[in-house]
Amino acid sequence: MKNIVFIILLVCLLPSSLLSQGYQQYNHYIANQGLLNPAYNGTRDVISGLMTHRSQWISMEGAPMNQAINVHGPVEDTNIGLGVVLQNDAIGFSNTFDAMVAASYKIELDNRGKRWVSLGLQAGVTSFIFDGTKAITGDWNDPVFQGRTSTVGFNTGFGAYYYATDYFVGFSIPKMLSQSFDENTNEFKNKFDFQNMAMFLYGGYVFDWEPVKVKPTLLFREVYGAPLQFDVSCNVLLAETIWVGMSYRSTSNIVFLSEFILNRQFTLRYSFDYALNSLNQFSQYGSHEIGLQFDFSFNKRPGMRSIRYF
């Protein structure tokens, strides 16, 4: 019965999703800034990498599932940063895979190394596969569901990132091209469409509240013609090794966040989010996200976690 309900929900939502530029959703969006904003790549002092897996709406067939890898670092003795972003997004009958190369350039604002602005670009390819034959629909003549199609096309994005010792602000459009269904040709096409771009504006602050550190953050996501979405979070650092926190998403989700600093090189993250709306009747086990971050240096400086805590 749950699977039938999910198919009904998916078919109802699919037309609007095909006409909008989707982008992966992560609970630890601040820790995943390299995926969200190309300008973030290379802003840390070490070679930094991240692996993330997210399973959404556990127990529902065809529910969203995401995997991502981001590796980035600075080019020695320059203000240039480089990064690689790989993301896989599966939902229902569709699968999207992005492979991007990012580059950033940092500009020092105060001559003391305490305030910087970074501008970034990324470019690569997006592969999109849609298998409409798996759909259960009453309209047998709907061309969207009459076959399996795939497209591979160029994609690009940009971003800006301003940061200091204890706060940061970022803006990005990670993907400027989208896969939209063309009713004239009955095919999916990769095309530039401002109305389908996902835009992100986010920021945060880290302050001392002895004996702990507190990190409130806020993220806005905007797609033209869709309601403005936001995430508001707050994390607390305990004993310099464990972050715990909570987040609220405007789509009516509550999120429990945790982060474990294993040592100077590795950090493990886990989060659980649960729908507060009627969706929880069909996804009683919520959504789960796990990630592993590593920090290394190829010179004599030891790998370490950024003093900025973001």
- The domains of the chain, with CATH numbers, are 2-296 (2.40.160.40)
Q: Are 92 and 85 in contact (CB under 8 A)?
A: no
Residue 2 is predicted with a pLDDT of 39
Q: N- to C-terminal Cα distance for the chain?
A: 43
What pTM does this model have? 0.85
Cα distance between residue 263 and residue 269, in whole Å: 13
- Spell out the per-residue pLDDT of the chain, length 310, in tens: 334 333 333 433 333 333 334 567 899 999 999 999 999 999 988 899 999 999 988 877 778 899 999 999 999 889 999 999 999 998 877 889 999 999 999 999 988 878 999 999 999 999 988 776 666 665 556 655 566 677 888 999 999 999 998 999 999 999 998 766 666 665 666 777 777 789 999 999 999 998 999 999 999 999 887 889 999 999 999 988 999 999 999 988 899 999 999 988 899 999 999 888 777 666 667 899 999 999 987 665 544 444 578 8
pLDDT of residue 145: 59
Q: What is the pLDDT of residues 87-117, one digit of tens each?
A: 999 887 788 999 999 999 999 998 887 899 9
The pLDDT value given to residue 88: 95
Instruction: State the pLDDT at residue 141.
Output: 61
